Chain A
Amino acid sequence: MSDEQSIELVERNQLPGKTAELKAGGWRIVQISSVPVADGQEITYSFDKEYRLKSLRTTVPDADPVLPTITGAYFAAFTYENELQDLLGLKVQGLPLDFKGNFYRKAMNAPLASAKPDGKAG
């Protein structure tokens, strides 16, 4: 349930710094997910501490699908970032355990990448 939730918009290059702050503050990583928006993807990083949920949100344009990794602060994020690479076709820079798009065995490349904002998948 959404008891206490907050969303903060950040730039892509601020992510490693912000996540290091959260790690020092005792926040636990919950999930990383994506939502398709007009010509890009909106990536949401959610963290939890004592039942409060805080999310960082950043936009990745389709023209430049690159993200810095947050595994410096949260090593466990490597599973989520590999999934982003697989399903959306993004490239995450600096990933220590990089499956290069083969984390899931799937029939097509980047199945969720071309989903347009009106909900119809490409």
Chain B
Amino acid sequence: MGTRTVIPFGPQHPVLPEPVHLDLVMEDERIVDAIPSLGYVHRGLEKLAAKKDFNDMVFVSERICGICSFIHSLAYSTAIETIMKVEVPERAQYLRVMWAEMSRVHSHLLWLGLAADALGYESLFMHSWRVREKVLDVIEETSGGRVIFGTCKIGGVRRDVEPAVLEKTLKELETIEFECSEIVHVFAGDPSVHRRVAGVGVLSKDDAYALGAVGPTLRASGVNWDARKLGYAAYGKLEWEPVVETGCDILARVLVRAKEIFQSIKLIRQAIQKMPAGPVEVRVTGNPSGETITRVEQPRGELVYHIQANGTKNLARFRVRTPTFANIPPLVKMLPGCELADVPIIVLSIDPCISCTER
């Protein structure tokens, strides 16, 4: 029985995109326990809902997170549309799918870059982000902003995309797909990457399900569950299957996210080809009254919006349960037993988006 020391991890750490604090209880080089501590970016957005007009909350919800911004506004708009029983036009649904999947490609490329950086593999990090720049250019051309799209609204989308721009997007996607395949080839095949991630951060299938893991963390442990199967926006009309791996370790999570990039590119192609002509919004008047629980799939997992409205222009309750919040208990389970040098990549493997977690 060695002596135990407590080492603080975070809030400032080179691998963390956002600040989180973990107290690591160590015995020699091995972790025995990990105690999380949040609250560095708590902005009190749930309380802001009581003061702002519910139409303006679309902009606030988009800014809960910088990486998965569009899907937050998509979830919010879908929730309010469910409460007010608004029928969104088909073209708007397909445009939403297109932007949501572009958001997913951009987020997974960002994560692959950060994972490479956490392993110390800087050239791979730079190459991933170089391809991500192309995705950001595509997003800017269709929506006007690189990270904050500003296109979703209650009742549809705020801008249409011309056919010429869609054609150009399809061509860009071919280049992006080829370059992603080169990068994924390195992640999947490179022996130095393998030595760091294979067999590390194991989360068994039963643990993942019992602890409420979501997203790629859950699908890398063999559980076939993807919130896009619920059929919101136009996902019910497109053909796709969730990506599942059975490795249960970090390598499996890398492979799930890598394969999801290609799946998203195929979904964008399907959405652009199947997009019907027509209006992109319906006019929505009045105030919402009612309650709903809406679930969508963010790049990091299942996002739950629980909204209750009482007929005034402010919402009674605006509750966001983000995927990283649900992935913290699995993280606390994965850490004991590993070595200190593996902690950064394990923390990064759940794709922590702490600004989402602590709205």
Q: Do A and B have CB atoms closer than 8 angstroms in the complex?
A: yes
Q: Is B355 an interface residue (CB 8 A)?
A: no
Residue of B nearest to A82 (CB): B38
- B317 close to A1 (CB less than 8 A): no
Q: Which residues 1-53 of B sit at the A interface, judged by CB distance below 8 A? A: 35, 37-40, 42, 44, 46-47, 50-51
A106 CA to B40 CA, complexed, in Å: 9
Across the interface, B329 reaches (CB within 8 A) one of A55, A76, A103, A112, namely: A76
Query: When each residue 30-60 of chain A gets 1 if its CB lies under 8 Å from chain B and 0 otherwise, what string results?
Result: 1101111000000010100001010100000
How many residues on B have C-beta within 8 angstroms of the other chain's C-beta atoms? 45
Across the interface, B44 reaches (CB within 8 A) one of A75, A76, A111, namely: A111
- A2 close to B82 (CB less than 8 A): yes
**A1-B231, A76-B211, A76-B326 as given contacts; A35 in contact with B308, CB under 8 Å:** yes
**A33-B321, A76-B212 as given contacts; A117 in contact with B316, CB under 8 Å:** yes
Q: Is A29 an interface residue (CB 8 A)?
A: yes
- B312 close to A46 (CB less than 8 A): no
**A53-B295, A112-B47 as given contacts; A103 in contact with B326, CB under 8 Å:** no
Q: Is B328 an interface residue (CB 8 A)?
A: yes
What is the minimal beta-carbon distance from B136 to any residue of chain A, in angstroms? Answer: 29
**A30-B304, A79-B325, A105-B40 as given contacts; A35 in contact with B212, CB under 8 Å:** no
Q: Is A118 an interface residue (CB 8 A)?
A: yes
Summarize B's interface: helix, strand, loop or mixed: mixed
What is the minimal beta-carbon distance from A44 to any residue of chain B, in angstroms? Answer: 7
What is the minimal beta-carbon distance from A28 to any residue of chain B, in angstroms? Answer: 6
Across the interface, B212 reaches (CB within 8 A) one of A2, A28, A36, A102, namely: A28
Chain A residues with CB under 8 Å of B78's CB are: 1
Across the interface, B358 reaches (CB within 8 A) one of A46, A104, A118, namely: A104
How many residues on A have C-beta within 8 angstroms of the other chain's C-beta atoms? 40
A102 CA to B316 CA, complexed, in Å: 25
Query: When each residue 54-71 of chain A gets 1 if its CB lies under 8 Å from chain B and 0 otherwise, what string results?
Result: 010000000000000000
What is the minimal beta-carbon distance from B161 to any residue of chain A, in angstroms? Answer: 24
A79 CA to B294 CA, complexed, in Å: 21
Q: Is A5 an interface residue (CB 8 A)?
A: yes
A1 CA to B77 CA, complexed, in Å: 11
Chain A residues with CB under 8 Å of B292's CB are: 2
**A1-B82, A112-B47, A119-B50 as given contacts; A36 in contact with B316, CB under 8 Å:** yes
Chain B residues with CB under 8 Å of A105's CB are: 39-40, 42
Query: When each residue 87-122 of chain A gets 1 if its CB lies under 8 Å from chain B and 0 otherwise, what string results?
Result: 100000000010100111110000110010111110
Q: A104-B38, A105-B40 are in contact. List 7 more A-B contacts (CB 8 A).
A: A2-B293, A28-B212, A103-B39, A117-B316, A118-B312, A119-B315, A121-B50
What 5 A-B pairs are tightest by C-beta distance, nearest first?
A105-B39, A76-B329, A31-B321, A104-B39, A1-B232
- Identify the A interface with B (CB < 8 A): 1-3, 5, 23, 28-31, 33-36, 44, 46, 51, 53, 55, 74-76, 78-80, 87, 97, 99, 102-106, 111-112, 115, 117-121
Q: List 9 A-B contacts (CB under 8 A).
A: A2-B292, A3-B230, A29-B212, A31-B293, A35-B317, A46-B306, A76-B330, A115-B47, A119-B50
